[in-house]
Amino acid sequence: MGTSSPAPLAEVAALFARLGATAFGGPAAHIALMHREIVVRRRWMGEREFLDLVGATNLIPGPNSTELAMHAGYRRAGWPGLAVAGVCFVLPATVAVLGLAWAYVRFGSLPEAAGVLYGVKPVILAVVLQALGSLGRAAVRDAPTAAVGLAALALYLRGADEIALLAAGGLLVAGMRRTWRVLPAAVPVAWLAGGAGAAAPFSLDRLALVFLKIGAVLYGSGYVLLAFLRADLVVRLGWLTEQHLLDAVAAGQVTPGPLFTTATFVGYLLDGLPGALVATVAIFLPGVVFVALSHPLVPRVRQSAAAGAVLDGVNVASLALMAGVSWQLARAAVVDLPTAALAGAAAVLLVRTRLNSAWLVAAGGLAGWAIRTLTR
């Protein structure tokens, strides 16, 4: 790349601000959108390096898609890129959720968003499936990775724990390459959760500690966040009701960007704008630290044959989880003939053109809103 090209930091800011404003559909969809923009359209890195970064985000706690954005920002523009990518990806969702929280407190309900999501979901499904095909060719490198990938997908669909699958995938690929047979392995999973206790008076300090802990220990899907929030804020501290919690999670789902911005909604309910800011910063801060510590280690892991085999196993297990999420998304997204048509049209455009996926998502949302409006 010549010196006349756009400044890398400005590129990082522009890309992740746009993705943060348009990336609906959860972590699997976010990763698929980033793959299309970073690997396919801009060629900032190759399939293998991108896949390694996906695997690395699955090995640390926190919001996977936000951490992947920070890894990509670091790869493109160094330490400033890490910070800018994270902030720009999270900020649009934070502002959107903050607006919903204000409307909720003022009017007592969330604005209607079902029509937009009706059209966005099938388009996101097409983006995810295209990314799965491309990444799958890089991840399934031999018989052990193929076997582990299929086994991880089957176990995930039967309800197996995500973290156990990732850890077992890494160990099994390493073991199978070494001995060509499956080695028995114990997979310990640490679970750090707040202890039981009586309801405590609210304070911003306590709020920060709750969300720092959640950001530092939450593995797996962003939807696991619901269990953490309920245990701490409803059961242990008594700051929220069950209905408040469900409405907060709904706000995170109907807005683009990471589901962790549910914390913004919760913080606003508890203490207005100061609470929203404290909760948002606290839940995302551990991920920044983990990415900063782990990013320099990823190339070294790849250089080691044994560690590289473990990473290959984690990568193929990660894609298996992504495939499982895609199946679940398909069942919720393709519900009738219009949504099937939207998914098919998006898939054709993705395969035959290099059209910016943000335009497809926006068009899907507009089409969904129009269909719902016309068929009422």
* Tokens (6 digits) for 3: 């010196």
> What is the tens place of the pLDDT at every residue in 171-197?
888 888 765 444 443 333 333 333 344
Q: Other C-beta atoms within 10 Å of 263: how many?
A: 30
pLDDT the model gives residue 227: 64
pLDDT the model gives residue 196: 40
* Residue 331, pLDDT above cutoff 50: yes
**In this structure, which amino acid lies at residue 91?**
L
Work out the angle between the directed axes of helices 242-253 and 64-107 (0-180°, nearest 10). Answer: 120
The more confident residue out of 148 and 195 is 148
* Residue 281, pLDDT above cutoff 80: yes
pLDDT the model gives residue 219: 58
State the DSSP code for 375: T
pLDDT the model gives residue 265: 92
Mean pLDDT, range 35-48, rounded to an integer: 88
H helices within 140-261, ranges in order?
Answer: 143-157, 162-179, 204-217, 225-229, 242-253
Name the band, by pLDDT with cuts 50, 70 and 90, for residue 6. low
Mean pLDDT, range 65-90, rounded to an integer: 91
To the nearest whole number, what is the mean pLDDT of the chain?
A: 79
The more confident residue out of 221 and 101 is 101
Q: How far apart are CA 262 and CA 278, in angstroms?
A: 13
Mean pLDDT, range 122-141, rounded to an integer: 77
The more confident residue out of 259 and 355 is 259
Helix, coil or strand: residue 159: coil
pLDDT the model gives residue 191: 33
pLDDT the model gives residue 192: 32
pLDDT the model gives residue 250: 66
* Residue 111, pLDDT above cutoff 70: no
The more confident residue out of 268 and 299 is 268
Answering whether pTM is above 0.85, one says no
Q: Which of 149-153, 311-315, 372-376 bottoms out in mean pLDDT, i.e. has the lowest?
A: 311-315
The more confident residue out of 364 and 98 is 98
* Residue 35, pLDDT above cutoff 60: yes
pLDDT the model gives residue 148: 86
pLDDT the model gives residue 109: 60
* Tokens (6 digits) for 292: 């900063």
Among 157-171, 241-255, 307-321, 329-343, the range of highest mean pLDDT: 329-343
Residue among 314, 324, 312 at smallest CA distance from 57: 314
